[in-house]
Structure 1
Amino acid sequence: MLRGCDGQGHGAYGGGVTSASGAGAAAGGRETRTIRGTLPAGSPDHVYVPVDIPSGVREIRVAYTYDRPSVPAGTPGNALDAGLFDERGTGLGGRGFRGWSGGARTEFFVRTDDATPGYVPGPVGPGLWHIALGPYTVAPQGMSYEITVTLTYGEPGPTPEPVHPPQRAGGRGRDWYRGDCHLHSWHSDGRRTPAEIAAQARAAGLDFIHSSEHNTHASHPHWADLAGDDLLIMLGEEVTTRNGHVLALGTEPGTFVDWRHRVRDGRWAGIARDVHRAGGLVVPAHPYAPCIGCGWRFGYDEADAVEVWNGPFTPDDETAVAAWDALLAASVRKDRRWLPAMGNSDAHRPPDAVGAPQTVVLADDLTREAVLAGLRAGRSYVAESRKAALTFTATGDRGERAGIGERLRVDRDTPVTVRLEASGVPRCTVRLVTDQGVLLTGGPLPVSGSGTVEWRTTPARAAYVRAEVRHETAAGPVPGVMAALTNPILLGND
C-alpha cells in the first residue's frame, strides 16, 4: 500500500497511485510502485508519505522528481528535500530515523548492510515506513511530485557494527590547537568524501575537525579510519531547522538530534538539553546568513558559543560580530555568563577551503573533552588560516596576568597593560574593542606580518577587551575584512 499523506495522516496531499509489480516476494524479485501528489503553497514543513513494507524485503530504493514552474523575479521556486523513517515511526526524537539527504539527492536506498551516504544501514523490517518530504520552498502554482519506490526481496546481509573515531589524539599537553568545526561531506550536501576532508584538514594545519552533516548522524562510523595521532575527529550534526541552523558539536557518537521544529513549537530548550546530555555544545551557526531559513530565531539562552565567522568574511559575518559584541557588552555589564565566538569554514565543495577560517583553542590536551572545555570557556580566537597566529594578554601593575577567555582580577582603578602579538597578518590593522566600543586602532603591521601592539587601560574604563586584526580597506568608515579576532579578556573583580 502506497499513498500520499500529510504529517497528520490525512490524504490531503496524495494523488493517483500506480503499481507495477515484478517477481514480488521471490528471492531477488523486485516490486516497483509510483506515488504522485501535489503540495500547495503554504504546505506543512514535513509531509510523510507512508509505504507498507511486507516481509522479506532486502532493500528499499526511493527516487523522486518534482516540477519547477517559472516564477516571477524575487519569488522562490520549488525545492523539495527528502528523507526516510522506518516502521518505528516518525515521532520526534528520531527513533525511526533512517536518513536525510535534504535536496542533495533525488535517489537513495537503505538495506541491512549498506545505505546511500546520509542514510543508516540496518534491518528492513515489515510495517509502515514513511518517506519524509520537506518542501523547502513552494512556488505559487504549487509543487507536483512523483515518487518511485523499488522493493528488492531476498536474504538480508549482515548489519555492520559501527566503529567511531577515538576521542583522543596525540596532543602536546596544554597548548593551542587549531580546528574547523563546521564541515560537510557527501553524507549531506557536500561534494567531498570524509577522506578528502581529512586530507585537506591536515594540509591546512588543523589538529581537530568536526563532522556536522545536515540533519543526519549517518556519517559518524565513516570517520574512524581517518583519525590519527595528528588529527582528532569529533562527531555531531548541523541541526537545520526552518528558523535557523545550529551545530550540535562534539556529541557522543551515534547521537541524532531532531530538526523538525520551529520557535513557535516551544521544543528548542528541550532539544538543547538533549545535546548537552549527549556531551555536546550548542553553537548557533551563521546567525545572519541570508539564505531562507538560515537566520537564527531561537535566542541564545541555551547556547554555549556562537559562530560569528562562517567561510569567507562577508557582510553577514560583520553583522554577526557586531551583534555578538552587543551581547557580550550586555552580559559583562550585568555580570552574567558571556557567549564565546567561533569561526569555521562550512566547507561543502571546491573551492571552499577547509580551515578557512579556523578556531584556535587553548586546551589541556588534544581530546574531545578538553577541546570542548576550551571552546565553552572562550579560551580561543579565530584565524583566517594557519598562517595567522595571536598571543593576547592583559597584565596588572603587580604582575597579575590573564589570557583570552580569562578574567584579570584587579581593582577597578588598577592600571592594566593589554598586549597583542601577531604574526602571519601582513599590513593588517589592529583594533582593540571594549564594552565602550573601539578604543584603539593600531597599524598597519609591517609587511613581515609580525608586530606587537600595547595599550594601557583600567577596569573602570573597559570591562573587557578583545582584539580584531583586519586587512587593509579603502578610505571610509567601513572596516577591512577580518584576518583574526579573539574572544575577550575580562577586566576587574567580579
Structure 2
Amino acid sequence: MCEDEHGIESFDGIGRRALFVTGAAAALTLGSVTFASGSDATDRTETRTVSGTLPTGSPDFVYLPVEVPRGVREIHVAYTYDKPSVPAGTAGNALDIGLFDERGTALGGEGFRGWSGGARTEFFVRADDATPGYVPGRIRPGTWHIALGPYTVAPQGLPYEITITLTYGEQDATPVPAYPPSRAKGRGRAWYRGDCHLHSWYSDGRRTPAEIAALARAAGLDFINTSDHNTHSSHPHWADQAGDDLLIMLGEEVTTRNGHVVALGTDPGTFVDWRYRARDNRFGRFARQIRRAGGLVVPAHPHATCVGCGWKFGFGEADAVEVWNGPYTPDDEVTLADWDNTLVAAVRSGDADRSWLPAMGNSDAHRDPDPVGTPQTVVLADDLTREAIQEGLRAGRSYVAESKLVSLTFSAAGAKGQHAGIGERLRVAPDTPVTVRLEATGVPRCTVRFVTDQGVLFTSAPLPVSGSGTVEWNTTAQYAAYVRAELRHETAAGPVPGALAAFTNPIFLGT
C-alpha cells in the first residue's frame, strides 16, 4: 500500500482474500478497505482508492469490503475501468456495480442497498437520499461491501479503479416511503390495457416516473408495472403518478446471468435477489418469494440474443411468459413458436386447464425513442385493481396488441349455444361443429391466422384498409385441441409471415 501525490491510498493488485461460494454463483472477496476510527467533525471527508485487474473467467460477483467507522453520514463511490479494443465477435469489458450494507451480502438477505449495473459511474447513499437505483437509510458502522459484477471480460483482462469517499456528520431522517394505491377507478369487468415491463432512471432507463406515466396515458394504458433491473429503489417514487385513470403496480426485472424475469405486481418495497445461475438451483426459492409478495413470475424475452438474456431456468415456476418484447423482431418469432409448443405439451399432459402458460407482451421501453405501450397486453379483469389484473393475466384472459388502435374480440361457439372466450375452454364433444370468430379493428391490410396444435390451419385474405373486419372458421375439437389467433402485417419475404399486429391466448376445445 502506498500514498500518491494527492494523499489517496492505492492498493496494487486486487488484494485477494478468498474465493468462495455464497450459496449462489462463485464470488471473490477482495482485501478490506479501512478508514480512520471515526469522527464527529461535520463534513470532514476521507477518500481511499482501490485498483486491480479482473482476469477472464472471473466469478460473477466480486466483493470489496469497506470498513465504515462511526459518524459517517454519506458514502460516495466512483469507479472506472478500461475498455480495450477486442477482435470482432469477442466480448469486451463490462463491469456492473452495487452496494450492500453492514448486514452482509447473503443471498436474499437484508443487506442490499442498491444496484446501478453499468448505468452509472458513481453513486452515493445517505439516510435522507440516494442516487437512483440505491436505497436511502442510516449509515451504520460495520463492514459494507461494494459489489462488482464483471458482466463480460476482454481477453486482456478488466483493469478497474474504485474511489470511496466517506463524509462525516449528523445524519438526517430517512423519509417514510409512500406507495401508489393498489386500485384505480376502473370500469368494472372490462378489458384493460397495460405495459408491465418498463425502465426508469432508477436502473438503466433515462425517463423519470412522471415521464413514463405521461407516455402510458398517451398510449391508452390503464395499468403499468415498474420493472427496474435488480432494484426496488423506485417503489416510493411512483405514488404521485398514479390516479383514477392509471393503476401503477410495483415490481422488478430480476436480471440474472441466465435470463431475466419480471416480478409483476409485488408488495411495495419487495426486493428480489438475482445473484444465481440456473446451475445453482436457486431460482425456485425466489419465484416463491415473488408469489408470497403477491406478484406474478413472468420470464422476459426468453430468446433475446444479448449476453445473459436467454431464459435458461425453464417454465415450471412461471405464471405467464413475455412472448412479445418491444418492436417485433425475429427473437419474438422464435419465442412465439416456443410458447406454442408449451400449449401442445399442456394438451398432451391431459391437464391443459391447469398447466398451460399464458402469454403477454410488453414494451421494455428504456429511453427515447422507445415507445411505451408497444406492444401492450389487453386483459379481461373484474376491476382495475392489482389483484384483478393479475388474476386475468394468470388465467390467460388476454391478448397482445401493437398499440391502443388495435382491438379484438375472439370467441368459439358450439352448435348448442356453448360459448367460450380467450383463455377459456369450450366444452363440446370431439365431433361437435365449432365456429371460431374474430372481430378486429385497427389492423389495416392485416391477415388473420388461426393456429392450433397442428399449426396454422386457416389464413384469411387481407383485411380492408379500414382496418376492421370479421373472420370465421369452422372446426371440431377432434381436429383442433385449441385455437388461437394471430394478426399479421403484410410481408414481402415470400412464405415468411409478416410481423405481428396482435395475437391472442388460446381457446381450448373439448371436454
Measured at CA, do residues 138 and 11 of structure 1 come closer, stay the same or move farther in structure 2, by a change above 3 Å? closer
Equivalents in 1 of 2:498, 2:491: separation in Å?
A: 5
- The TM-score, its normalising length taken from structure 2, stands at 0.94
Measured at CA, do residues 225 and 333 of structure 1 come closer, stay the same or move farther in structure 2, by a change above 3 Å? same
Q: How many residues align?
A: 492
What residue number does 1:450 align with?
468
Equivalents in 1 of 2:27, 2:240: separation in Å?
A: 46
Find out whether 1:282 has 2:294 as its counterpart: no
What residue number does 1:8 align with?
20
Find out whether 1:350 has 2:362 as its counterpart: no
Q: 2:492 aligns with which of 465, 474, 491?
A: 474
What residue number does 1:69 align with?
84
The C-alpha deviation readout for 1:47-101, integer Å capped at 9, x for no partner, is: 0000000000000000000111111111011000000000000001131000000
Q: Does the 8 Å CA contact 2:303/2:334 hold for their aligned counterparts?
A: yes
What residue number does 1:429 align with?
447
Could you tell me how far 1:8 is from its partner in structure 2?
3.5
Could you tell me how far 1:206 is from its partner in structure 2?
0.1
Look up the equivalent residue of 1:307 and give its one-letter code. E
The C-alpha deviation readout for 1:171-223, integer Å capped at 9, x for no partner, is: 00000000000000000000000100000000000000000000000000000
Equivalents in 2 of 1:474, 1:40: separation in Å?
A: 48
Equivalents in 1 of 2:31, 2:390: separation in Å?
A: 49
Q: Does the 8 Å CA contact 1:13/1:37 hold for their aligned counterparts?
A: no
Tell me, what secondary structure is at the counterpart of 1:209? Answer: strand
Tell me, what secondary structure is at the counterpart of 1:8? Answer: strand
The C-alpha deviation readout for 1:362-384, integer Å capped at 9, x for no partner, is: 00000000000000000000000
Q: Does the 8 Å CA contact 1:427/1:445 hold for their aligned counterparts?
A: yes
Could you tell me how far 1:404 is from its partner in structure 2?
0.2
Where has structure 1 moved over 6 Å in runs of 4 or more? 9-13, 15-19
Look up the equivalent residue of 1:396 and give its one-letter code. G
Q: Does the 8 Å CA contact 1:14/1:37 hold for their aligned counterparts?
A: no
Find out whether 1:299 has 2:311 as its counterpart: no
Q: Within 5 A, what are the aligned runs for 1:178-327? A: 178-327=193-342
Could you tell me how far 1:12 is from its partner in structure 2?
7.1
Q: Does the 8 Å CA contact 1:344/1:357 hold for their aligned counterparts?
A: yes
Equivalents in 2 of 1:424, 1:444: separation in Å?
A: 13
Measured at CA, do residues 84 and 13 of structure 1 come closer, stay the same or move farther in structure 2, by a change above 3 Å? closer
What residue number does 1:333 align with?
348
Segment drifting more, 407-416 vs 202-211: 407-416
Find out whether 1:402 has 2:420 as its counterpart: yes
Could you tell me how far 1:7 is from its partner in structure 2?
5.9
Measured at CA, do residues 423 and 4 of structure 1 come closer, stay the same or move farther in structure 2, by a change above 3 Å? farther
- For the aligned residue pairs, the C-alpha RMSD in angstroms reads 1.9
Q: Does the 8 Å CA contact 1:4/1:35 hold for their aligned counterparts?
A: no
Q: Does the 8 Å CA contact 2:27/2:62 hold for their aligned counterparts?
A: no
Measured at CA, do residues 137 and 397 of structure 1 come closer, stay the same or move farther in structure 2, by a change above 3 Å? same
The C-alpha deviation readout for 1:92-127, integer Å capped at 9, x for no partner, is: 113100000000001000000000001000000000
Equivalents in 2 of 1:354, 1:124: separation in Å?
A: 37
Q: Does the 8 Å CA contact 1:212/1:236 hold for their aligned counterparts?
A: yes
Could you tell me how far 1:42 is from its partner in structure 2?
0.4
Q: 2:104 aligns with which of 83, 86, 89?
A: 89
Structure 1, unaligned stretches of length 5 or more? none
What residue number does 1:378 align with?
396
Structure 2, unaligned stretches of length 5 or more? 1-8
Equivalents in 2 of 1:478, 1:450: separation in Å?
A: 24
- The TM-score, its normalising length taken from structure 1, stands at 0.97
Tell me, what secondary structure is at the counterpart of 1:301? Answer: coil
Equivalents in 1 of 2:158, 2:433: separation in Å?
A: 66
The C-alpha deviation readout for 1:412-445, integer Å capped at 9, x for no partner, is: 1111110000000000000000001000000200
Could you tell me how far 1:360 is from its partner in structure 2?
0.2
Find out whether 1:99 has 2:114 as its counterpart: yes
Measured at CA, do residues 433 and 279 of structure 1 come closer, stay the same or move farther in structure 2, by a change above 3 Å? same
Could you tell me how far 1:385 is from its partner in structure 2?
0.2
Q: Does the 8 Å CA contact 1:16/1:36 hold for their aligned counterparts?
A: no
What residue number does 2:435 align with?
417
Q: Does the 8 Å CA contact 2:483/2:507 hold for their aligned counterparts?
A: yes
Equivalents in 2 of 1:431, 1:318: separation in Å?
A: 14
Could you tell me how far 1:477 is from its partner in structure 2?
1.2
What residue number does 1:146 align with?
161
Q: Does the 8 Å CA contact 1:175/1:363 hold for their aligned counterparts?
A: yes
What residue number does 2:4 align with?
none
Equivalents in 2 of 1:40, 1:492: separation in Å?
A: 58
Measured at CA, do residues 149 and 400 of structure 1 come closer, stay the same or move farther in structure 2, by a change above 3 Å? same
